[in-house]
Structure formats: C-alpha cells, structure tokens
Chain A
C-alpha cells in the first residue's frame, strides 16, 4: 500500500475514527493523541494486513487500543479485553440521543457506536473488542434498554 493510498483510506475514515475516540475518551487533546498514534502504528504494521477489505476494522481496533492506553495511563486498567470503567454522567434530562449515548457506561457505549452509528457487524465488533459475539449482542441489548431509560422513549433499531 502506498503512502497516498493509505492516506486516502485513513481520511475516508475520519468520522469513524473520531466517533470511536469520542466513545472512549472525553478530552479532545486525548482523542487527537490517540488518532496520531493509531495512524503511526497502522502505517508501521501495514504489511501485516493481508486483506484490504479488513482495513477499516483493523485500523479501528488499533485506535481502540490506543484509546485504552491513554485511559490506562491516566487512571486504571481493568482487564485485557474489556473496556475501562467510569465516565461521569452529565446532567440527566437531556433527551438528545448522542448525549444519552455519551452517558452510557463504556461497556455499552462503544458497541452501540460501532454497530448503530458506524455500521460494523456483530462479528467485526466482536473481533475489535476481543469479546464473544454473544457478549456484543447482550451489550447492544442492554445498552438499548439503558438508552430507553435515559431518553424515556423508544430507541430506534
């Protein structure tokens, strides 16, 4: 893959990368640091990617790792294949879907963003988050339930 091809594919993913970074990190500065490291590592390891079709999932997984690293440096690490804990809920009462997603616990928020917003499959999310497909499904189900509670209305599926 040439540098130009790589750059084009990465820039095509800018919204996905930003949404995923928002799903884990609260600070804009941290999000920028994470995407920087993600791009460098993806470029460095590009020879290990055999299928161009997997590029989007592969880069997203690298970004998730970088976001976890930033969380770990600033607070705590929990498990190898789980998401870090705790984002403080903002003031309850805002009925906007995005704000409600932002208030979800991490273990529900990222699968919701990856599936509903970014359109990744259950299988892709399972591989990105290193959790079983059944766990992805249960987190989507539970996450929707929590959104209903936060929004007080039906959540789109």
Chain B
C-alpha cells in the first residue's frame, strides 16, 4: 500500500469522536447482554420429529431457484467498461410471477438504463424518499411501474431495536425463537428489514426481510453464482413450505406467505468463510434455522 493513501487520511481523530468512544466504553457493563435466550432443546427435538413425519408430503408452494429471481444489476451496468458481467442480483419481494417481483425487475432495468450509479442530489418529491429516485423522470417511471402492477409506495418507517419493539410495531405475537438480538425498521404497512442473531446449538446471524404484498420494495441481494447453491423445498414443523438455498458463503430462505413474502439472508455458508458465521453451515443447520421462525405469525 502506498503511504500516500494513508497520509491522505492520517490526521488525528477529532477529540470529540475519541471522547465519545471512551465515554461509551467506560459505561459498558460486564454482564453479557444477550437477551431473551429461549432455546429449548426438547422443543427443537420435537419439532425435528414432526418435520421427519411430514417429509414427503406435498409441498405448499412451487419451487423456484435463485436463478429465476435474478434481476439486472444497475450498478454493474453503470460500472462496466465493456459488457457487464452476468448479474448475481436477486429481487426479494416474491417469486417470479408475482407483481412485486416483476415490478422490481422492471425498476432495476430502468435504473440500469438510466444510470443508477450516477450520483446526483436532485430534489425529488418526498413521497419517493424510500426509493432510488433522483429525478422527476425517475419518479414518473416508478409511478408508471407501480401503477401497472397495482402497488403502493412506502410512506413512513419506524426503527426497532429489540424483539419486543418489533412485535409491538407489527402487532403480532412473537415469531422468532432463540432471538438474541434484532434491530431494523418497519414500514407503515408491516414490511420490515432487520439484522438478527439467534442461537440454537450454534449462532445464526441473518438479515430478515418481510415484504407485504401490494407494496413496492426495491431491496435486492447479491448471491454470487446461483449455480453454486444446493436448493430444496422444506416444510417446517408449522406446516409452512419454505425454499432453502445453501450456498458457499451465504444461504437464503424464502417463504411465500398469505400476506407477505419473506426472504432471509443467512450470513454464512458451506465454506465456513463468513465473518459472522465462521463455521460451515450444513443442510441440517439451514433446516434448523428455518424452524426458528413461526411463519404463521408473520402472515
């Protein structure tokens, strides 16, 4: 590394920044803060037995691989000096035939053509605040797409910093087992995005997304080469069919529920090379992970 780079950033850290760090460090308590640990081995064993009994029964939904969810990566198109590489970006709002998926796919196409990576700070209407709209033209395009598919834009959100806050904002009963921590934000319609940790035999670090049907979301996820994933349908002990995708460095869980579509990005894979989940994730681990969620409560 050339020292010039370091020199350019080599100035001292502002005193107020360092003071804040020291202040927070001094206030830390020694007691572990992992909260609401509710892992009950007996419950899990029972759940696994039920799942074994259910194995082989008809699945509640059709199977779609991650490959079918690929959308145009607007950033790759904008950055490419020649032909852009194959996109590894998937939309997370629904299976391919759904209005929510198709709308997001069209929106990604539009952003790619429009130049998503072009940085602007144009003033746009506040109603586009939660979307990548940087001009009136883009706003109009988004309106056309959402109108075509009968979808609404998000209008507001609220943060949550605990499992209890999340359930309170959603008005639901608890639906995450063994949750050690979760934080994120909930939109006005109950769509939400959260970073979570659950401990069930091992630690699971994940990003949980719930996308309410009828609303437009532009959340996407890089998955690498979709051919590297082992994928199968799995029926939870609660009788909900979920699609599981076991990849080298991450895993994806998807469930098409009556009122929403759930997509969970597990931050670890078979290689065990993840920063957050350094031990390899197995097929069994992923099925255990799926059992941590009561999808009937999510709706």
Tell me the nearest residue of chain A to B187, going by C-beta: A77
Taking the closest CB of chain B, its distance from the CB of A155, in whole angstroms, is: 9
* B16-56 interface bits toward A, Cβ cutoff 8 Å, 1 = contact, 0 = none: 11101110110010101110000000000000000000000
User: Once the chains bind, are B34 and A47 in contact (CB under 8 Å)?
Assistant: yes
Residues of chain B contacted by A119 (CB below 8 angstroms): 1
Answer whether A75 and B129 are a contact pair too, CB < 8 Å, given A48-B205, A65-B195. Answer: yes
> Which residues from A are CB-within-8-Å of B199?
48
Contact (Cβ within 8 A) A79 B85: no
A138 contacts which chain B residues (CB < 8 A)? Answer: 76, 79-80
Q: Is the CB of A113 within 8 A of B9?
A: yes
Are the CB atoms of A85 and B209 closer together than 8 Å? no
Question: In the bound complex, how far is the Cα of B199 from the Cα of A50, in angstroms?
Answer: 13
B175: Cβ under 8 A from any A Cβ: no
Contact B181 A73 (CB under 8 A): no
Q: Which residue of A lies closest to B209 (CB)?
A: A80
| A59-79 residues at the B interface, CB under 8 angstroms | 61, 65, 69, 72-73, 75-79
Q: In whole angstroms, what is the CA distance A7 to B30 when docked?
A: 12
Q: Say whether B14 faces chain A, with CB atoms less than 8 Å apart.
A: yes
Interface residues of A in 62-118 (CB under 8 A from B): 65, 69, 72-73, 75-82, 85-89, 96-98, 101, 105-107, 113, 116-117
- Interchain CB contact under 8 A, B25 and A50: no
Q: Which residues of B contact A76 (CB under 8 A)?
A: 128-132
Residue B197, interface by CB 8 Å:
yes
CB of B58 within 8 Å of the partner chain: no
A97 pairs with B32, CB closer than 8 A: no
Question: Which of these binds chain A: B62-70, B114-122, B143-151?
Answer: B114-122
* A18-B14, A47-B34 known; A10-B88 Cβ under 8 A: no
Q: Which residues does chain B contribute within 8 Å of A156, judged by CB atoms?
A: 2, 4-5
CB distance from B3 to the nearest CB of A (A): 8
Question: In the complex, what's the smallest C-beta–C-beta distance from B52 to chain A, in angstroms?
Answer: 29
Max chain B C-beta neighbours (<10 A), residue from A80, A101, A142: A80
A135 to B21, Cβ gap below 8 A? no
Residues of A within 8 A of B219 (CB): 79-80
Say yes or no for B282: interface residue by CB 8 A criterion. Answer: no
Contact of A96 among B8, B32, B181, B183 (CB under 8 A): B8
State A97–B6 Cα separation when bound (angstroms). 10
- Give, as a whole number of angstroms, the nearest-CB distance from A125 to chain B: 11
Q: Is the CB of A57 within 8 A of B275?
A: yes
Interface membership of B96, Cβ < 8 A: no
Contact partner of A86 among B20, B79, B119, B218, CB < 8 A?
Answer: B119
A47-B8 in contact given A35-B20, A76-B132, A116-B1 (Cβ < 8 Å):
no
B203 at the interface (CB under 8 A from A): yes
What is the bound-complex CA distance between A88 and B119, given in angstroms?
Answer: 8
Choose one: A47, A98, A107; the contact of B32 (CB below 8 Å): A47
A79 to chain B: which residues have CB within 8 Å? Answer: 218-221
CA distance in complex: A69, B161 (Å) = 12
The residue from A3, A28, A39, A88 contacting B16, defined by CB atoms under 8 A apart = A28
Task: Indicate whether A88 sits within 8 Å of B4 (C-beta atoms), given known contacts A36-B20, A81-B221.
Answer: no
Other-chain residue from A28, A32, A61, A77 in contact with B130 (beta carbon distance below 8 A): A77
List chain A residues, Cβ under 8 A from B207.
80
CA distance A15 to B120 in the complex (A): 29
Q: How far is the CA of A126 from the CA of B149 in the complex (A)?
A: 34
Residue pair B8, A132 in contact (C-beta under 8 Å): no
Binding site for B on A (CB under 8 A): 2-3, 6-7, 10-11, 14-15, 17-19, 21-22, 28, 31-32, 35-36, 39-41, 43-45, 47-48, 50-51, 54, 57-58, 61, 65, 69, 72-73, 75-82, 85-89, 96-98, 101, 105-107, 113, 116-117, 119, 123-124, 127-128, 130-132, 134-135, 138-139, 142, 156-157
Mind listing 8 A-B residue pairs with CB under 8 Å?
A39-B24, A45-B180, A45-B181, A48-B197, A54-B278, A61-B275, A82-B220, A86-B134
Instruction: Sort A-B residue pairs by CB-CB distance and give the 7 closest, nearest first.
Output: A156-B2, A44-B33, A105-B119, A116-B5, A97-B8, A98-B8, A7-B25
